[in-house]
Amino acid sequence: MRDIVPKRALDIGCAVGRSTFELASGFLDVVGIDYSHGFIKTCDVLKQNGKMEYEITTEGVLTSRHEAVISANIVSHIGMFSGQLQIIALLT
Protein backbone atom coordinates (compact mmCIF):
# COMPACT_ATOMS: atom_id res chain seq x y z
CA MET A 1 0.00 0.00 0.00
CA ARG A 2 1.35 3.44 -0.96
CA ASP A 3 1.70 6.29 1.49
CA ILE A 4 -0.67 9.12 0.65
CA VAL A 5 1.10 12.49 0.51
CA PRO A 6 -1.21 15.45 1.23
CA LYS A 7 -1.06 17.97 -1.60
CA ARG A 8 -3.65 20.68 -1.00
CA ALA A 9 -5.26 22.34 2.00
CA LEU A 10 -7.91 25.04 2.33
CA ASP A 11 -8.19 27.17 5.49
CA ILE A 12 -11.60 28.87 5.47
CA GLY A 13 -11.80 31.77 7.93
CA CYS A 14 -8.02 31.89 8.27
CA ALA A 15 -7.93 35.23 10.20
CA VAL A 16 -4.24 36.22 10.38
CA GLY A 17 -3.11 32.83 9.10
CA ARG A 18 -1.88 30.92 12.15
CA SER A 19 -3.41 27.62 10.99
CA THR A 20 -2.60 28.41 7.37
CA PHE A 21 1.11 28.71 8.19
CA GLU A 22 0.98 25.43 10.13
CA LEU A 23 -0.70 23.71 7.18
CA ALA A 24 2.08 24.99 4.90
CA SER A 25 4.56 22.76 6.72
CA GLY A 26 2.69 19.61 5.67
CA PHE A 27 1.03 20.39 2.34
CA LEU A 28 2.39 21.44 -1.03
CA ASP A 29 -0.41 23.93 -1.77
CA VAL A 30 -2.26 25.94 0.90
CA VAL A 31 -4.96 28.56 0.43
CA GLY A 32 -6.23 30.74 3.28
CA ILE A 33 -9.54 32.61 2.86
CA ASP A 34 -11.09 35.27 5.11
CA TYR A 35 -13.66 38.08 4.82
CA SER A 36 -11.48 40.56 6.74
CA HIS A 37 -9.11 42.50 4.51
CA GLY A 38 -7.28 43.67 7.66
CA PHE A 39 -6.60 40.06 8.71
CA ILE A 40 -5.36 39.23 5.22
CA LYS A 41 -3.03 42.27 5.17
CA THR A 42 -1.61 41.16 8.53
CA CYS A 43 -1.13 37.63 7.24
CA ASP A 44 0.67 38.92 4.15
CA VAL A 45 3.08 40.93 6.35
CA LEU A 46 3.77 37.81 8.44
CA LYS A 47 4.30 35.78 5.26
CA GLN A 48 6.77 38.30 3.81
CA ASN A 49 8.70 39.20 6.98
CA GLY A 50 8.19 36.29 9.38
CA LYS A 51 7.22 38.82 12.06
CA MET A 52 5.13 41.91 12.68
CA GLU A 53 5.25 44.66 15.29
CA TYR A 54 2.01 46.00 16.73
CA GLU A 55 0.85 48.33 19.48
CA ILE A 56 -2.08 47.88 21.85
CA THR A 57 -3.80 50.30 24.21
CA THR A 58 -3.41 49.10 27.78
CA GLU A 59 -5.26 51.88 29.62
CA GLY A 60 -6.41 55.31 28.48
CA VAL A 61 -3.58 56.68 26.35
CA LEU A 62 -1.02 54.14 27.60
CA THR A 63 0.16 51.65 25.00
CA SER A 64 2.54 48.72 24.82
CA ARG A 65 4.47 47.44 21.81
CA HIS A 66 4.64 43.75 20.90
CA GLU A 67 5.94 41.54 18.13
CA ALA A 68 4.24 38.51 16.54
CA VAL A 69 6.74 36.00 15.17
CA ILE A 70 6.24 32.87 13.06
CA SER A 71 8.47 30.01 14.18
CA ALA A 72 11.67 29.60 12.16
CA ASN A 73 10.86 26.12 10.84
CA ILE A 74 7.60 27.36 9.32
CA VAL A 75 9.23 30.51 7.88
CA SER A 76 11.92 28.42 6.21
CA HIS A 77 9.28 26.10 4.74
CA ILE A 78 7.20 29.04 3.49
CA GLY A 79 10.34 30.43 1.89
CA MET A 80 10.65 27.19 -0.08
CA PHE A 81 7.00 27.19 -1.16
CA SER A 82 6.11 30.89 -1.17
CA GLY A 83 4.45 30.60 -4.58
CA GLN A 84 2.01 28.00 -3.27
CA LEU A 85 0.86 29.81 -0.12
CA GLN A 86 -2.08 32.00 -1.11
CA ILE A 87 -4.08 34.25 1.19
CA ILE A 88 -7.33 35.56 -0.22
CA ALA A 89 -9.69 38.27 1.04
CA LEU A 90 -13.30 37.66 0.11
CA LEU A 91 -15.15 40.81 -0.88
CA THR A 92 -18.80 41.14 0.10
Residues 1-25: what's their mean pLDDT? 81
3 within some domain:
no
Q: What separation in angstroms does the CA of 58 have from each of 51, 67, 69?
A: 22, 15, 21
Q: What is the total count of domains within the chain? A: 1
Q: Taking the CA atoms of 30, 47, 16 and 34 in sequence, report the sign of the dihedral they define.
A: negative
Q: What is the pLDDT of residue 62?
A: 93
The pTM of the full predicted model, rounded to 2 decimals, is 0.63
Residues 7-27: what's their mean pLDDT? 85
Residues 15-41: what's their mean pLDDT? 85
**Structural domain boundaries, residue 76:** 8-89
Residues 16-31: what's their mean pLDDT? 84
Model confidence at 22: pLDDT above 70: yes
Model confidence at 71: pLDDT above 80: no
In 3D space, the residue among 35, 34, 3 whose CA is nearest the CA of residue 17 turns out to be: 34
72 within some domain:
yes
Task: Report the distance separating Cα 46 and Cα 51, nearest Å.
Answer: 5
2 within some domain:
no
Would you call 3 helix, strand, or coil by DSSP? coil
Tens digit of pLDDT for each residue in 73-85? Answer: 554 444 333 444 5
